[in-house]
Amino acid sequence: MMIGRLPLDEQLDALRATLTRNSQLMEVLARAEKLDLPGWYLTSGCLVQTVWNVVTGRPPAAGIRDYDLFYFDATDLSWEAEDEVIQAGAAVFGDLPVDVEIRNEARVHLWYSDRFGVPCPPYPSSEAAIDSFAATTCCVGIRLVENDRWRVYAPHGLADVFNLVVRPNPVLAPRSVYETKTQRWLQQWPELTVLPWPES
């Protein structure tokens, strides 16, 4: 039976079993916990792309460009405060052969419009930021909690992730972002089924 058709608790077990095959991801996850950032998640591409690699028989870390680490701290929205965390992360992750991108999701509304051409209302949490990804398939985040348990945030479930379906999420990111990302992904994972952006 396809994993995407299993009961949700079994999909969660399959997610953990799959992601643990990416040793780089697991090392980033373990070190991220030590940073003790508020509302943190390892999220998006590094998670779903590890699944795509395992499902399609590729090395677990193949083609993953970066590892996105979100946190949420609205107490100080200055770039200097975020950069201090980024520099702390550079010290923690610097010896790893991967690029870990750390961002305070409480600050996204300050720069999003300049980068993507559409306004972004302030996020109230890291989860709200994950909700706004251009593809629902990528709306997944994990973090470690007490006793080595995982907190998994996946508002759209995991079926599309395991079934290699990329589904648009037209809530914030413009169509061009979705289409640019999916074109790049198809070059690396041609087995994907990319659903079209809905016509307005």
Q: Is residue 199 part of a domain?
A: no
Contacts of 168 (CB under 8 A, 6+ apart): 134, 135, 136, 175, 178, 195, 196, 197, 198
Q: Is residue 27 part of a domain?
A: yes
Q: Is residue 51 part of a domain?
A: yes
The tens-digit pLDDT sequence of the chain (200 residues) is: 466 566 677 888 899 999 999 999 999 999 999 999 999 999 989 999 999 999 999 999 999 999 999 999 999 999 999 999 999 999 999 999 999 999 999 999 999 999 888 899 999 999 999 999 999 999 999 999 887 789 999 999 999 999 999 999 999 989 999 999 999 999 999 999 999 999 87
Q: Tell me the H-state helices in 39-196.
A: 45-55, 79-93, 112-116, 126-131, 159-163, 175-188
Count CA within 13 A, CB hemisphere, residue 177.
Answer: 16
Q: Is residue 141 part of a domain?
A: yes
Q: Is residue 75 part of a domain?
A: yes
What tokens were used for 123?
A: 């996020």
Rounded Cα–Cα distance for residues 170 and 189 (Å) = 22
- Check: CB of residue 123 under 8 Å from CB of residue 72: yes
Q: Is residue 26 part of a domain?
A: yes
Q: Is residue 200 part of a domain?
A: no
Q: What is this structure's pTM?
A: 0.93
Residue 1's pLDDT is 46
- C-alpha separations of 34 from 16, 19, 104, 130 in Å: 20, 19, 17, 22
115 exposed, middle or buried (CB, 10 Å; 0-12, 13-18, 19+)?
Answer: exposed
Q: For 7-59, what is each residue's pLDDT tens digit?
A: 677 888 899 999 999 999 999 999 999 999 999 999 989 999 999 999 999 99
166 membership: H or E segment, kind and range? strand 165-166
- Check: CB of residue 121 under 8 Å from CB of residue 132: no
Q: What are phi and psi of 168, to 5 degrees?
A: -70, 155
Residue 5's pLDDT is 66
Q: Is residue 28 part of a domain?
A: yes
Q: Residue 29's domain spans which residues?
A: 3-194
Number of domains comprising the chain: 1
